Amino acid sequence: MDLEDQYDKLYRYCYFRVRDVQTAEDLVQETFLRWLDHYPGQREREALPTLYTIARNLCVDVTRQRETLPLQETDQVAADPAGTLVERWDLERALETLTPQDQELLLLRYANQVPLQALSRLTGLSRFAIYRRCGRLLTQLREALREEERT
């Protein structure tokens, strides 16, 4: 595992959680600083669950400080074609039907491509349980998206 490669994935994770570019960048930087400060002897291949745990805790701290999360879409609307924006909006609404923990699991597994073994260490679930839960969650998302199309 190359830690430089993980930066973008951690950024994506933090951005998904806080919905603000600058805050996400700050959180990723703080994640690495805390990891280097508190886990100086940890091998890089064992660092992934630790990095995500630190990032998750920092994101939780930030969201607790805010009463509501603003949608920072205004900068992207002009550059985003209408069809893609609608699809993205539908997906975000479908994701909101899931619990925050389930949203996080899907983000880590599919958007950030975190391996099952690392997810297992991070969540405390077996690899098989993660595989089954992700399958169930994808089915729920498909059903929610179909429901969106009908309305």
Number of domains in the chain: 2
The CATH number given to whatever domain includes residue 28 is 1.10.1740.10
- Tell whether 58 and 105 lie within a shared domain: no
- The CATH number assigned to the domain holding 130 equals 1.10.10.10
116 and 146 part of one domain: yes
The residue out of 37, 54, 72 marking a domain boundary is: 72
Are residue 66 and residue 100 in the same domain, yes or no?
no
Tens-digit pLDDT string for the chain (151 aa): 577 778 888 999 999 888 889 999 999 999 999 999 998 888 877 888 899 999 999 999 998 887 544 444 444 444 554 455 556 677 788 888 899 899 989 988 988 888 888 899 888 999 999 999 999 999 998 888 888 778 7
Instruction: Please check whether residue 49 is in contact with residue 121, taking contact to mean a CB–CB distance below 8 angstroms.
Output: yes
Structural domain containing residue 143: 79-151
